[in-house]
Amino acid sequence: MDTEWGRIDETGAVFVRTADGERQIGSWQAGPPEEGVAFYTRRYDELAADVALLEARAGSAATDPHAVHTAAVHLKDGLPQAAALGDLDALSRRLDVVLEKVQERLKERAAERARAAEALVERKRALVAEAQALATSDNWRAGGERFRAIVEEWKTIRIDRKIDSALWEEFAAARRAFDTRRRAHFAEREEARNAAAEAKSKLATEAEKLADSTDWTPTAKRFRDLMTQWKAAGRASKEADDELWKRFKTAQDTFFARRSEVFSARDAEQTSNLEAKQALIAEARSLDAGADPDGARKRLKSIHDRWEKIGHVPRDAKDRLEDQLAAVERTIREATSAARVVSVTESPLVIRLRESVGKLEGRLGRAQAAGDTKLVAETEAALATQREWLAHAEAATD
């Protein structure tokens, strides 16, 4: 039986065709020739699958190029003896391509190692450049810590010994320059500490004078200003700083403790006032304007008078209380008006004047509660006029 890539003769001998000619690869006696061809073709497919796998690995950065190279050479060396029917020459050419790719990757890896070695040198050069920049820094603590960190990092970077020695000399020179400037700075710093101690002593003295002040708002602001100045004055020696701060803080705490006591007492008074006004609202709500309109109006006037004498309540409760009292006023005013309407013997003029007086009395109470002096004056004048007219009208109907 003859195929494109080989044949099986009448004796069962199996031959494969390659560019080098025909060679026997085995003998088939287990069945019809077709089955023999299929058997040796499957072997070729297995070889082709191995080649395809190597092609994939050759293009992957995750694989070891040395391992791929070894496997490809082994597979290529075995092709001349392979017992398989197929295009073995094509497999050989594909393996050549794999080997070329692997060689390129090996060259790239060698170049990467060279670049890595150069990168290590560049890291030390960068550390030298950083040290030279730090040599002019005034951040002494951070600079000193960074110099120590550079030394530790330097130890972890392995490069050519000769290059390393030259770079180390440059680094050491920068560190010496930094140390020289730092020593000079701390000599100047001692002088600055003495000046800071003198400035803070003055601030502590002023704070002690303010400790007994009762001018709460401006004194509190002045203490904040003194604190700002304190922070800007700089640091004295630790012993002097601690002593001066103790004086300043004691004076500050004394003032604010006194202020807190006063404000607490004020809050307690306002809470008491709140409870008193809530009691007046409860009293006002208990008035029965329908049964006794005039009596309800008189008692509401008494409630207003007591309301005004109570004093301040917490700010968040003020409007709510005023609204509650105003609601009671409206209820009593409406009930009073209704009672007067059913009295058919009264003059319509008297009825209107009484309604007007009731409305003005309600407005006057609210204006007084709100502390609106202008509205109080205007309402009192209008109320006096309305009451005078009402008196005349009532006298005329008697």
**pLDDT at residue number 209:** 93
Task: List, for residues 28-52, the tens digit of each pLDDT value.
Answer: 998 899 999 999 999 999 999 999 9
Q: Tokens standing for 294? A: 């005039």
- How confident is the model at residue 295, as a pLDDT? 81
- Residues with Cβ within 8 Å of residue 167, at least 6 apart in sequence: 124, 125, 128
The model's pTM: 0.35
Q: What interhelical angle do 238-285 and 161-210 show, nearest 10? A: 50
Q: Which residue has the tokens 């390659």?
A: 18
The amino acid present at 295, given as its one-letter code, is: G
pLDDT tens, position by position, 97-149? 999 999 988 888 888 888 888 999 999 999 999 999 999 998 989 999 999 99
pLDDT at residue 93, rounded to an integer: 94
> Is residue 8 within 8 Å of 36, Cβ to Cβ?
yes
Q: How confident is the model at residue 342 (pLDDT cuts 50, 70, 90)?
A: very low
CA angle 261, 266, 272 (to 5 degrees): 130
pLDDT above 50 (res 298): yes
Alpha-carbon separation of residue 207 from 35, 212, 234, 240, 261 (angstroms): 110, 10, 18, 17, 19
Report whether pLDDT(396) > 80.
no
Looking at 44-53, 75-84, 272-281, which range is the least confident one?
272-281
- CB burial of 337-372 (b: ≥16 within 10 Å; e: otherwise) equals bebbeeeeeeeeebebbbbbbbbbbbbbbbbbbeee
Within 13 Å, how many C-alpha atoms sit on residue 330's CB side? Answer: 6
Q: Compute φ and ψ for 14, nearest 5 degrees.
A: -105, 130
Residue scoring higher pLDDT (320 or 15): 15
Higher pLDDT residue, 166 or 315? Answer: 166
- Per the CB < 8 A criterion, the answer to whether 339 and 290 are in contact is yes
Share of the chain above pLDDT 90, in %: 49
* Angle at the Cα of 254 from the Cα atoms of 249 and 259, rounded to 5 degrees: 125
